Structure 1
């Protein structure tokens, strides 16, 4: 059986009220008494109930983090940063990978509410907006990460996706590429990257054809499949802008399998600058999101909102940064 507060009081030779004061760091008592109670708690392996703490309004020192796919290096790297920052602040993190599935979204939100988390960080697209509206209406601190929904009235933290898409496409155009394919996700962030892609074309008086815009779910295999379908239609663009590194790696793999040389025959640029970008041969040119800075910021913001629930909500945009490596070069055609 798990030890109770009654067991601690009995073993330490003090009242239950005294143990409670030690747990909550309140009240006055001799230092020797406080230390004796702490030593007894440690000896009995007694841990105060977080649930009981939540019910008394003291909080659980726990955050909920929802991501669309923890196997995506971008989100796993982001989750690591968030967990480290939370730990530095005395908080724990419950990580939920939704697979962008409506039922999972609802299930995990309900789970986090039952756990009485002090706040939630949502980095998933979240198709079930009503569930998030319910969280916000109950006054649970909520911050959107890499996502933005003005209708929710909560703080959002993301990179300037439009600028990232514009810079990626402009780099390819500056290298002489005019036939540029973009492979995007079904997400608002990718929509903004597409707008940046289109703006770069317009600025350089280039025509952007609808057939040059492909959409898929982010994965290496889907990146391969998208490029495979393009090739089967009898054409190979000179440049490809993939809206994340996973898709870019898939394109590189498929291109090599059909005998194309990177970047001699095909220039490829990704987005995110995850660990994947340094493992490809040649190294992947990509648009970097400041993962560490964004992860630290979102923890700092939500902790601040937990302490001050009337804090003004804001839209925080980080600047993307183009990292040029070996997968882009001057166009030969």
Structure 2
């Protein structure tokens, strides 16, 4: 027998109107009443017909989140923070992992439109500018997180990636490193990080490596191992590597160890993101931290302010990165006595 809104109201000892307000997150309802209604809905396995509501012009209380790679701890932690904030505000999240593939981006956008989601959050890695423009023309609420589209008037919560790259290079130079390599995928955020990285090098009279090339493999660790091995086999071997995310840094550490090198004594490595894996790898990873929890909260709040009509003008929020020192980078003079010959 199908459970109805009347059954929920009767069991929760509230009016039908109150249940409706709780479902649609409208009106002034006390937290205790909301919790009681939610508990009864769960006990009775009540599923509001959100699609029917959408067809009548009502909200489905659902947001579509497109991220490029759930296997990357940064994106899984970001998705969790967005989901947690959405739950606090009475919204559900549909998470789709696109694997950096435009075909999947198009497929999920079409599918979620059919499901009548109230809006889209697009994470770093989404490079399909035509689709972003299409969503804007259709006046579908959209917000960007962990990147920016400066060419569009669009709601965005981004990190100052340029500053993050600048911080990474400045720190390595301060530790005495002059031969510094980079590993990164060709994404807007990474391009900004590398731009900041290059500026810091130039300000210190150092040259950017001419043999740098963006990695193309989706598997971050294997891609980083391949690129690191290439650097270590070159005649101008670096003393430090800047990896544009923590997973790439892990791959660099693994490649160095497989070559018989000690990290950081013979090769210093700095990452980007400050995800949970930065604390469990050996040695613990020095990295540039993104405020992931704050980023998720900000973008969900921004999205809902658009959906509810509280915000009319487009808004950009730029958050600041922060260097987190651990043990994967060392001063060069502290390792002067170590033989740095690469094991063949």
- TM-score, normalisation: structure 1: 0.87
* Structural mapping, 1:312-331, within 5 Å: 312-331=313-332
Q: Secondary structure at the match of 2:329?
A: coil
Alpha-carbon distance between aligned partners in 2 of 1:250 and 1:235, rounded to the nearest angstrom = 20
Compute the displacement of 1:158 (Å): 1.0
Tell whether 2:123 aligns with 1:101: no
Compute the displacement of 1:42 (Å): 8.3
Tell whether 2:175 aligns with 1:179: no
Alpha-carbon distance between aligned partners in 1 of 2:45 and 2:240, rounded to the nearest angstrom = 60
- Equivalent residue number for residue 209 of structure 2: 209
Q: Secondary structure at the match of 1:294?
A: helix
Further displaced range: 163-172 or 129-138 = 129-138
Cα pair 2:180 2:209 within 8 Å, conserved: no
1:39–1:314 Cα change, 3 Å: closer
- TM-score, normalisation: structure 2: 0.84
Question: Cα RMSD (Å) of the superposition?
Answer: 2.6
1:311–1:256 Cα change, 3 Å: same
1:315–1:322 Cα change, 3 Å: same
Compute the displacement of 1:225 (Å): 0.7
Q: Secondary structure at the match of 2:65?
A: strand
- Equivalent residue number for residue 225 of structure 1: 226
State which structure, 1 or 2, has the greater radius of gyration over its C-alpha atoms: 1
Cα pair 2:63 2:91 within 8 Å, conserved: yes
Alpha-carbon distance between aligned partners in 2 of 1:178 and 1:39, rounded to the nearest angstrom = 60
Compute the displacement of 1:93 (Å): 0.3
Q: How many positions carry a matched residue from both structures? A: 313
* Structural mapping, 1:155-174, within 5 Å: 155-174=155-174
- Equivalent residue number for residue 153 of structure 2: 153
Alpha-carbon distance between aligned partners in 2 of 1:80 and 1:110, rounded to the nearest angstrom = 23
Further displaced range: 163-172 or 143-152 = 143-152
Cα pair 1:179 1:238 within 8 Å, conserved: yes
Alpha-carbon distance between aligned partners in 1 of 2:119 and 2:281, rounded to the nearest angstrom = 38
1:162–1:2 Cα change, 3 Å: same
Compute the displacement of 1:309 (Å): 6.9
Compute the displacement of 1:132 (Å): 2.1
Structure 1 gap segments, 5+ residues each: 13-18, 27-37
